[in-house]
Amino acid sequence: MILRTNEALRWIVAVLFIGLWCAALTGATCGQEVNYGVIAQKPIINLPQDQGKWYVSVVGDQANQQYRQIANWFQTDRDLRKLRYQTHYNEILLGTATYEERYKPNVKGLPTVRVQDSESRVVYEASGNNIPYSTGGLYAAIAKAVVKAKGGSQCPWRRPCPVPTPDPLPDTDPEPAPIDDGAAPDVTPPNSFDSVIQNGVVALLVGDFVISFLVGFAVSWYCQYNTMKRG
Amino acid sequence: MSRRIFGMVLLVAMFLGCAGCGQLSTFDMPLQDIFNLDSQMPIWIPYPVTPEQPTVNVPMGDRENNWGGGSCVHASTVMLFRWQGRHNMAKHWRATYRGGETLQGLHAKMDREGVRYAYTTNADVKFLEWALKTHRGVAVTCMGGVHMVCLVHFDDKRAGILDNNAIDRIKWIPREQFLAEWRASNSWATAIIYTPSAPLPQ
């Protein structure tokens, strides 16, 4: 009995010893897992592969009311805010080194809204009085240009899916965009009455062609069938 | 009976045909409008571009000299903040921190300030490639680990270095030479993760 107790104690001690070693090793491994980086003390599993993201620049003078209004649109309007998160969005202020060296030589006026693809091509640019007067107008103009640059067509039945947007964070700098893998922005120009008519005309023409073809085929078949029946 | 049905179908087909023609003639639409091509804008064709070099072309006015006798880590960080549009954080960082810095020290400060960052210490070249491919840039150690600079360009042939001890020019080094130097310098690299500046338009 005594021997058995001793043996049991040995086993307990051995298990505890091994357990402690495992715990220590796990802790050490956990500490090394953060080797590849952290975001606010959370390990990064995947770095954002957002090299395909496009760029939106809003350039202007902070004292200018039109600039402030446009910059505000990108914070408050649902569509423009979504576009902002889908792209690398930059606000460039007059007087900064970035403006002086990277924008002043190539903007046509202030304020300017510029959209560039991931390889620097300007896809859309408007400045001063050429900037649309409303959020809807600006979004539609950008969306048309983006759709055209992506080589797509405007599909009236294609609607943007609702995307959850995070609440604004208190920060002295502009709210950072969420970290994600990104490519060209997914935009859908709003449907205008003209485009509905245009699509309707195309649908009518296609329908007319198909029906006419079927009717012609049926008539010729019917005539041939009657001729064979009589013969 | 069946002839009547065929007649009716034929009439419907003719009506549809006329409706289609009517729409076209009434609105007198050019072909490009039918296919949704905006007649007021030229057709956009993706033209070839030459990538900007260095990739992270920090403006001269945003470059930061090493200050206070050995703040190379902070100077590199401040330049990357500015490149990624975090001007207020750059200003705060410049005013708050100085002197020599360690990996743990820098990351503790970044955690405290709520900065989004990533780093490596295991000579992971893919990490450098990622940082430059996404146009963010990265701070890397050199000179045996006693100095930190910004890696602002990294392709299959060469690396571009923006040294906070000589901010007026980019130092170009063959890729392998740079990697050898980095590996011999603790191979530490820290990148901050915000919005990179837009490339110059072409």
The more confidently predicted of residues A176 and B66 is B66
| pLDDT value of residue A33 | 36
Q: In chain A, how many H helices and how many E strands?
A: 6, 6
Q: What is the pLDDT of residue A163?
A: 42
Q: How far apart are CA B73 and CA B190, in angstroms?
A: 10
Q: Does residue A8 register a pLDDT over 80?
A: no
On whether residue B104 sits in a domain, the answer given is yes
Q: What is the mean pLDDT of chain B?
A: 86
B6 has a pLDDT exceeding 70: no
| A79 within a domain of the structure (yes/no) | yes
pLDDT-derived band of residue B38, with 50, 70 and 90 as boundaries?
Answer: very low
Of A49, A198, A207, the CB nearest to B34: A198
Cα–Cα separations (whole angstroms), residue B89 to A137, A138, B54, B94, B115:
34, 31, 24, 8, 9
At B175 the pLDDT is 98
Q: Say yes or no for a CB contact (<8 Å) between A123 and B193.
A: no
DSSP three-state, residue A141: helix
Residues B90 and B156 in one domain: yes
- Disruptive mutation site among B39, B44, B93, B111 for chain A (greatest number of A CBs within 10 Å): B44
Query: A100 in a domain, yes or no?
Result: yes
Distance from CA of B70 to the nearest CA of A (A): 24
Same domain, B130 and B166: yes
Beta-strand pair A88-93/A55-60: parallel
Residues B33 and B66 in one domain: no
- Rounded Cα distance, A84 and A81, in Å: 5
Together in a domain, B22 and B70 = no
Q: Is A200 on the interface with B (CB under 8 A)?
A: yes
Tens of pLDDT along A126-165?
999 999 999 999 999 999 999 988 876 544 444 444 444 4
Q: Can you state the angle between helices A78-86 and A135-149, rounded to 10 degrees?
A: 40
* CATH code assigned at A81: 3.40.30.10
Average pLDDT of chain A is 78
B44 vs B149, residue with greater confidence: B149
pLDDT above 60 for B150: yes
Domain count for chain B, please give it.
2
Do B87 and B20 share a domain, yes or no? no
Output A87 or A44, whichever has higher pLDDT: A87
**Six-digit token string for A63:** 């004292």
Chain B contact for A41, CB < 8 A? yes
Q: Tell me: do B110 and B169 sit in the same domain.
A: yes
In a domain, A80, yes or no: yes
Do residue B26 and residue B76 come from a single domain? no
Domain range for B23? 1-48
Q: Is residue B7 assigned to a domain?
A: yes
A25 or A19, which is more confident? A19
Is pTM beyond 0.95? Reply is: no
Q: Are residues B102 and B161 in the same domain?
A: yes
Interface touch B46/A117, C-beta < 8 Å: yes
Residue-level pLDDT at A30: 38
Give the number of domains in chain A. Answer: 1
Chain A environment of B47 (Cβ under 8 Å): 121
Does residue B28 surpass a pLDDT of 80? no
CA distance A62 to chain B (A): 15
Tokens at B145, concatenated: 């680990």
Instruction: Please check whether residue B106 lies inside any domain of the structure.
Output: yes
Q: Is residue B14 part of a domain?
A: yes
**For chain B, percent of residues with pLDDT exceeding 90:** 74
Q: Which residues of B touch A132 (CB under 8 A)?
A: none
User: CA A147 to CA A139: how far, in whole Å?
Assistant: 12
Using a CB–CB cutoff of 8 Å, tell me whether A24 touches chain B. no
In this structure, is residue A183 part of a structural domain?
no
| pLDDT score recorded for residue B36 | 44
CA dist., res. A84 & res. A29, Å (int):
39
> Of A106-110, A174-178, A186-190, A195-199, where does mean pLDDT reach its minimum?
A195-199
Q: Do B159 and B66 share a structural domain?
A: yes
The parent domain of residue A77 ranges over 55-149
pLDDT at A27 over 80: no
Q: What is the pLDDT of residue B66?
A: 97
Judgement on whether residues B124 and B88 belong to the same structural domain of the protein: yes
Mutate to test the interface with B, among A34, A91, A119 (most CBs of B within 10 A): A119
Point out the residue among A55, A102, A218 whose CB comes nearest to the CB of B59.
Answer: A102
B22 sits in which H/E element: helix B2-27
* Neighboring chain A residues of B187 at a CB cutoff of 8 Å: none
A173 within some domain: no
Find, among B122, B144, B140, the residue nearest to B132 by Cα: B140
More confident residue, A148 or A189: A148
Q: Are residues B101 and B28 in the same domain?
A: no
What residue of A is the nearest CA neighbor of B115? A40
Same domain, B136 and B164: yes
Higher per-residue pLDDT: B84 or A30: B84
Higher pLDDT, B85 or A28: B85
In a domain, A61, yes or no: yes
Given a cut of 70, is residue B41 above it in pLDDT? no
Write the residue in A101, A172, A195 that is nearest to B60 by C-beta: A101
Q: Is residue B182 part of a domain?
A: yes
pLDDT tens digits for range B187-197: 999 999 999 99
CATH number at residue B113: 3.90.70.10
Residue A219 lies in a domain: no
How confident is the model over A31-42, as pLDDT tens digits?
A: 333 344 444 445
User: What pLDDT shows up at residue B135?
Assistant: 97
Query: From residue A22, how far is each of A11, B49, B155 by CA, in Å?
Result: 16, 56, 43
Q: Which of B195, B197, B200, B202 to substitute to test the interface with A, most A CBs within 10 Å?
A: B195
Percent of chain B with pLDDT over 70: 78
Q: Is the pLDDT of residue A103 over 70?
A: yes
Range A60-73 average pLDDT = 97
Percent of chain A scoring above 70 in pLDDT: 70
- Per-residue pLDDT for A200 more than 50? yes
